[in-house]
Amino acid sequence: MIYTVTLNPAVDYVLEVDSIKIGETNRVREENYYIGGKGINVSRVLKELDIPSVALGFAAGFTGDLICSFLEKYGIKSDFVRLDSGFSRINVKIKNNTVTEINGNGPDISKEKIYMLFNKLDAVKDGDLIVLAGSVPQSVPFDIYQKIMERLSGKDIRFAVDATGQLLLDTLKYKPFVIKPNIDELAELFGKYPESEEEILKFANELHKKGARNVIVSLGKEGAVLVDENGHISRVSAHKGNVKNTVGAGDSLLAGFIAGYEKTGDFSYALRLGNAAGAATAFSEDLAKRKRIDEILNNDN
């Protein structure tokens, strides 16, 4: 079984406007809302690819209820720790020629509730995979990913970690199955923007040496590259299309990679499926749907 952990899930409220004037009343042309959070995004795309998962994390208030009801609607099992006060965050995204984001902080999470999450994770079995994705809320210890991995280190559990900076580096000693920095995050980790593929591979190999079994580097318009645990390098080019939405594209890439590997055990195919899933999200208003993923994958050269 695959488990995804989203510590600070959200309801994304997306407003499309012709223009926006600060300090004045503005009218919305179109509005939609979606449930979000990196782990939840991974669960949703896994579902499209016929891979079941359980969504874990924290949920609070009416927005927490909405998140859980949407997951149920999607056919995704969830087992969130419910908080006694506050509400799961709301992120407002205002679209005109650009996108302006106003992200909520989310509820406070007590030590007691954190231990409740740990207890749920204790039930994970050998052979399972846990996705740890996204930033850590202010009320949660910064090293929570480390603590989860250390707590479960006696089991044969694989981890996929999608995090940035020190949060990611601190997990490498636990040998995560896969990590997925993009090129900007790679530059942040090493204090230097890689100017060539040779430098990208050098940095990816450094992360491999530090413990990551498989390293995917998302290159945006240039595609992605994978250094796998066998030392083999796989590359994919970016798919061409009308980009409508970049939110969740990286999460979709990770979900596609996991699904591809779970189905075939082939790292090269897993990267191709991940690349197709990421593109399908980028070309959609919401996260990728199976039909669009298959279309892109079948056109893959």
Residues 210-252 pLDDT 10s: 999 999 999 888 889 999 999 999 999 988 888 887 788 999 9
Residue type, 109: I
242 compared with 290, residue with greater pLDDT:
290
- pTM (2 d.p.): 0.94
Helix axes 144-151, 111-121, angle to 10 degrees: 40
- Which residue carries 């996929």 as its tokens? 160
Q: Which of 40, 63, 43 shows the shortest CA–CA distance to 53?
A: 43
Rg for the chain, CA atoms, rounded = 19
CA 227 to chain centroid = 19
Q: What is the DSSP letter of 143?
A: T
pLDDT of residue 285: 84
pLDDT of residue 222: 84
Lowest mean pLDDT among 90-104, 150-164, 256-270: 90-104
The token pair that represents 89 in the structure block: 């965050």
Lowest mean pLDDT among 8-17, 98-107, 269-278: 98-107
How would residue 299 be classed by pLDDT, with cut points 50, 70 and 90?
confident
Query: DSSP letter string over 110-154?
Result: -HHHHHHHHHHHTT--TT-EEEEESPPPTTS-TTHHHHHHHHTTT
Residue type, 90: I
Residue type, 152: L
Just list the catalytic residues.
Answer: 251
pLDDT surpassing 70 at residue 301? no
Q: Which of 79, 84, 148 shows the shortest CA–CA distance to 115?
A: 148
